[in-house]
């Protein structure tokens, strides 16, 4: 024991000797005096919590933390901002522990070895536990805590090199967290708004609740927590009032945070919708709810479903649901898309005729149409395969139905034609290209979404915490809103579709049973005075003309014939996608003329 006390006395004497040099201003003469004196001074500068060369690289004090670096780059490791007293305690304690271990080993080797071995086991165990925690939380700290530190360290007067998790604590699911604020912070309204905005944006939260009451204590803190979550189940009765009160073109998706209604306007902010989610996540239920609401407000819907069983409630072949058309097979979907393309061009012509200088369009282009594409990944592949089956030499390589779908995405908004696409993973090749996917301004992410999928579809926003519940998802427009989508049974969807204004199909639409009635004669009008109804002048493609016998040649021969007699061949009367259309009577007359010449 006496030897241990002598060692401590020697350390104290050396410390006082070094401080005598520092006190008399000789701390910068390390290299000019004796080597022993310089070594002692440098050692005790380090031992007392300073730098060995005696300089200052931060504005820290003995008991205050530093926040500025005196280096050219303005950056130093965070440990150099610690109070000097704390650093001194660590270094002196470590030196004393080393000296004590050596003394005990010299006095009692067996006991010292046992104590040192136990200490090493505890140290290794503690280090492994801390390392495991650090490795486990590395991705969380890199993805969420470090970016938040980069945004707020300047407002808090902290150095950029500080460890983010030394003053920021965020739960793994980001549902709550807290920030240690500097002592004496004013917490002015502008300061609060900036911090709240950074926390909300960097952590991908929706309307978190902030608690600033901790600012008044001796250790100021800011805490936050999530707002009340969305309900676990949203039924039709819970949103019926919102649906009935919504204006035309506004669809109610369900209830969000705090049971607030979540809506999207296809008439203004998002003319087309993309519903993305894995299998069994509830995409078809969302489509059912959206379609029934659209029909309730007087629209007409076209359902394209290769699965054939996603929406059995919407089967309109018996005429009991006249405001919807249900297409199942490849041929039905192919021809329906071509008809929709033709209808869009007709509407554009009507709108162009009614356009005004101020941008208003005084024209009735027709009823608002909703085109629903179920299982888009399968639909795009099957349309391409169907076109390869029916295509003949000379036809374009790309499916005209896919081209028609892209045209609807790019040009259908102003003429009341909207697209809803449901896909398990809406990749660019399935949607029709990256530019076509950008037209899906409203994106509904249902079920569990992987970070890769979120980055692909909503990279402008941080990925919010995911909760795997049936029907739970996020609406992404100009912001992100958590939503529990409406659970609507098939019978409820049927009843809602017929409860509002029931619209008849547009004239000429295929695969619907009922067509609009002919204009009725006004009361008192003599039916005899009504002139004969002139049938519309039919247009045909070359393929249709050959199939119907209007041209007495095969399709390849008819195309060769068109190229050979280009000057005498009738000019196209219209277009059906990339296909030229001709007047039937002109083709028949030309066929008869050439047959007589032969």
Per-residue pLDDT tens over the stretch 293-346: 999 999 999 999 888 788 888 876 666 788 899 888 888 899 899 999 999 999
**Per-residue pLDDT band at 188 (split at 50, 70, 90):** confident
Q: In angstroms, rounded to a whole number, what is the distance separating the alpha carbons of residues 591 and 586? A: 9
CA distances from 182 to 69, 154, 185, 221 (A): 18, 12, 6, 9
**Per-residue pLDDT band at 234 (split at 50, 70, 90):** very high
User: CA angle, 203 as apex, 197 and 206 as ends, to 5°?
Assistant: 70
**pLDDT at residue number 576:** 64
**pLDDT at residue number 112:** 75
Across the chain, what does the average pLDDT equal?
A: 80
* 8 A C-beta contact, residue 276 and residue 457: yes
Whether the predicted pLDDT of 21 surpasses 70: no
458-511 pLDDT per residue, tens: 888 888 877 778 889 999 988 888 899 999 999 999 999 999 888 888 888 887
423-437 pLDDT per residue, tens: 888 776 666 667 777
Q: The tokens of 280 are what? A: 């069994």
Position with higher pLDDT, 278 vs 301? 301
Helix%, strand%, coil% for the chain, nearest 5: 45, 15, 40
Question: What is the per-residue burial (b if ≥16 Cβ within 10 Å, else e) of 13-37?
Answer: eebeebeebbeeeebeebeeeeeeb
Q: What is the DSSP letter of 314?
A: G
- The stretch 256-268 carries a mean pLDDT of 87
Position with higher pLDDT, 112 vs 231? 231
Residue 579's H or E segment, with its range, is strand 579-583
List, as one string, the DSSP characters of 267-311. TTT-SSEEEE--TTSSHHHHHHHHHHHHHHTT-EEEEE-SSS-TT
Task: Give percent above pLDDT 90 in the chain.
Answer: 18
**pLDDT at residue number 597:** 59
- Radius of gyration of the chain from its Cα atoms, rounded to whole angstroms: 38
Whether the predicted pLDDT of 533 surpasses 50: no
| DSSP bridge partners of 179 | 168, 222
| Nearest residue to 300 via CA among 500, 47, 484, 469 | 500
Q: In angstroms, rounded to a whole number, what is the distance separating the alpha carbons of residues 587 and 558? A: 11
75-87 pLDDT per residue, tens: 777 777 788 888 8
Residues in the chain, overall count: 598
**pLDDT at residue number 531:** 37
Three-state DSSP state, 122: helix
- The stretch 25-48 carries a mean pLDDT of 60
**pLDDT at residue number 441:** 80
Q: Which residue has the tokens 């080597």?
A: 35
Question: What is the per-residue burial (b if ≥16 Cβ within 10 Å, else e) of 514-530?
Answer: eeeeeeeeeeeeeeeee
């Amino acid at each position: 024991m006496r030897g241990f006390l002598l060692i401590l006395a020697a350390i104290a004497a050396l410390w006082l000797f070094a401080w005598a040099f520092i006190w008399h201003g000789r701390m910068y003469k390390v290299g000019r005096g004796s080597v022993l004196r310089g070594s002692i001074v440098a050692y005790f500068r380090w031992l007392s919590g300073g730098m060995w060369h005696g300089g200052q690289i931060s504005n820290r004090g003995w008991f205050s933390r530093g926040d500025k670096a005196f280096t050219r780059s303005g950056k130093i490791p965070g440990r150099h901002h610690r109070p000097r007293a704390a650093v001194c305690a660590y270094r002196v304690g470590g030196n004393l522990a080393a000296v004590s271990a050596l003394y005990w080993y010299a006095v009692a080797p067996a006991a010292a070895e046992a104590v040192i071995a136990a200490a090493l086991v505890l140290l290794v165990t503690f280090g492994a536990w801390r390392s495991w925690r650090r490795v486990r939380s590395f991705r969380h700290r890199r993805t969420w805590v470090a970016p938040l530190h980069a945004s707020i360290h300047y407002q808090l007067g902290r150095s950029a090199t500080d460890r983010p998790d030394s003053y920021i604590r965020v739960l793994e699911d980001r549902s709550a967290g807290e920030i240690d604020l500097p002592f004496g912070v004013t917490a002015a309204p502008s300061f609060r708004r900036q911090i709240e905005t950074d926390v909300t944006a960097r952590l991908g939260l929706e309307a978190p609740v902030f608690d600033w009451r901790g600012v008044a204590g001796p250790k100021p803190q800011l805490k936050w927590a999530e707002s009340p979550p969305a309900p676990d189940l949203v039924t039709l009765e819970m949103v019926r009032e919102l649906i009935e009160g919504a204006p035309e073109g506004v669809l109610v998706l369900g209830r969000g945070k705090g049971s607030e209604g979540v809506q999207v306007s296809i008439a203004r902010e998002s003319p087309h919708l993309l519903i993305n989610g894995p299998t069994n996540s509830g995409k078809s239920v969302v489509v059912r709810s959206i379609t029934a609401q659209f029909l309730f407000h007087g629209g007409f819907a076209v359902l394209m479903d290769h699965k054939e069983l996603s929406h059995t409630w919407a089967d309109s072949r018996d005429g009991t649901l006249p405001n919807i058309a249900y297409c199942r097979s490849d041929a039905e979907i192919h021809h329906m898309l071509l008809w929709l393309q033709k209808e869009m061009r007709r509407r554009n012509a009507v709108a162009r005729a009614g356009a005004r200088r101020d941008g208003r369009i005084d024209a009735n282009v027709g009823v608002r149409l909703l085109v629903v594409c179920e299982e888009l990944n399968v639909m795009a592949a099957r349309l391409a395969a169907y076109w390869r089956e029916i295509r003949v030499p000379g036809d374009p390589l790309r499916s005209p139905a896919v081209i028609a779908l892209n045209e609807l995405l790019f040009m259908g908004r102003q003429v009341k034609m909207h697209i809803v696409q449901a896909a398990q993973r809406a990749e660019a090749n399935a949607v029709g290209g990256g530019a076509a996917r950008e037209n899906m301004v409203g994106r509904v992410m249902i079920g569990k979404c992987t970070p890769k999928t979120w980055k692909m579809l909503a990279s402008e926003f941080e990925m919010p915490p995911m909760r795997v519940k049936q029907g739970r998802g996020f609406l992404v427009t100009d912001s992100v809103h958590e939503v529990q989508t409406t659970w609507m049974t098939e019978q409820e969807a049927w009843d809602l579709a017929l409860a509002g204004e029931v619209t008849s199909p547009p004239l000429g639409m295929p695969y619907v049973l009922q067509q609009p009635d002919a204009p009725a004669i006004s009361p008192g009008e003599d039916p005899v005075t009504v002139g004969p109804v002139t049938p519309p002048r039919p247009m045909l493609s070359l393929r249709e003309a050959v199939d119907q016998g209007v041209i007495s040649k095969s399709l390849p021969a008819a195309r060769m014939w068109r190229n050979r007699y280009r000057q005498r061949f009738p000019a196209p009367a219209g277009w059906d996608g990339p296909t030229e259309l001709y007047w039937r009577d002109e083709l028949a007359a030309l066929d008869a003329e050439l047959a007589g010449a032969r």
